[in-house]
Amino acid sequence: ILINNSKVSGIITQTSSIGNKISGAMIGIGLNVMTKPVIEKDRFTPKAACLRDFTDSPQCNIEFFLGELLNNLAENIKMLNKKDYPQLFQKYCSRSAVIGKIADIYSDPFTGSGEKIYSGKIIGIRKNLELIFENNSTPVRSGRLSLHK
């Protein structure tokens, strides 16, 4: 999640599969509420911040945000259980911070060389979460994303 081009939250995912079936998935959510982490700036995280940097509201505390996060996750899980995939996908796309932005895609330095593999304007997201770039017929399904300023 970006606020004024500063990263205040992130998600990391990993899946494992057996054959063509996903056998497990792990999702981690990080949210900087009261303090910003000390990180080394790079092309993927040019600036870090915390929510407290943007508000003096007394609701800006971990307990409030954890409650809101759990409520929103529960709503999304209900949509999943009802197989309301189109509404969940539309919600995801409407909140995307990348659609309409110019970005570079790099190979994952943990599985490759970390070199730039594509650059351009992101014009959409497919239902399988591949990124669609303007003037590129091949959707991007993996790599690390770096947004241009």
Tell me the per-residue pLDDT of 37-82, one tens digit each, with 9 for 90 and over: 988 888 887 789 999 999 999 999 999 999 999 999 999 999 999 9
Strand partners of residue 22 = 17
pLDDT reading at 120 higher than 70: yes
Q: Is the pTM of this model over 0.85?
A: no
Is residue 111 very low, low, confident or very high in pLDDT (cuts 50, 70, 90)? low
In this predicted structure, the answer to whether residue 113 has a pLDDT above a threshold of 80 is no
**131 vs 14, more confident:** 131
Cα separation of 118 and 104, whole Å?
Answer: 6
Nearest by Cα to 103 from 73, 72, 53, 148? 148
